[in-house]
Amino acid sequence: MNSDLLALQPALSGAELVSPDSRSSPVDPSPVDPSLADPSLVEAVPSKRLAEYLALQGSTTFFLQAVSGHPVEVEVLHQSVETHPNRGDILRRHARLYVRHARNIVLVAKSEIALSRLDPGQRRKLIERSEGIGKLLDPGNLGLLEKNDIEVSRVPAPHSLQTASDWAVSRYFSLKFNGECCGEIREILNNESLERAR
């Protein structure tokens, strides 16, 4: 991971996303025989679709659109741009992705994007909140994006995900655009929220 992006990590590990008692063991996407598992844990086993998401290298938005057959919308909950002497302008965004209706929340995300790594048009669209990050950087889903996982863990489901399930999967990764690191993103979802994309 690029050393200047190491400095972005603390801001992404907010209390709502990860807590000390978050049962942060790594997620194993392999199927578990329910007869061998504790019945209370069976519900927490990642579904096939969640396992596919965890293996995803490209745009999350396009993956969700392929699953649902509908456009994926972004609701930006909070956004700011901060200037750092060594790293330039950094866009920090907390958002929810949903399908068909704002109540159909599929995932929540916290992102930090180095705006200096993008062209002026991309920067403007991100700041104006007119496009999702993945859809903006790779509009044709041509494979311009690459995710490098930093941490995948099981966490308590944040209230903003609005699920009955009390657990979720947190996928924290660095994002490369055209082979160059441009930011870090933490996405949180679970089997229940992912089913909303159907």
Rounded average pLDDT over 59-71: 91
Q: What pLDDT does 44 receive?
A: 57
**What is the chain's mean pLDDT, rounded?**
80
| Run of H or E residues at 3 | helix 3-6
pLDDT for res 86: 85
Q: What is the pLDDT of residues 147-175, one digit of tens each?
A: 999 999 999 999 999 999 999 999 999 99
In the β-sheet with 167-177, what is the strand arrangement from edge to edge?
A: 72-84, 88-99, 105-114, 180-189, 167-177, 145-156
Beta-bridge partner residues of 133: none
pLDDT, residue 3, reads 36
For the chain, how far is it from start to end, CA to CA, in angstroms?
34
Read off the pLDDT band of 1 (50, 70, 90): very low
87: pLDDT confidence band, cut at 50, 70 and 90? confident
pLDDT at 84: 86
The predicted structure's pLDDT at residue 129: 81
For residue 140, CA distances in Å to 120, 131, 144 come to 19, 13, 9
Q: Distance between CA 35 and CA 194 in Å, rounded?
A: 25
Burial (0-12, 13-18, 19+ Cβ within 10 Å), 48: exposed
Average pLDDT over residues 69-89: 91
The mean pLDDT of 88-113, rounded to a whole number, is: 94
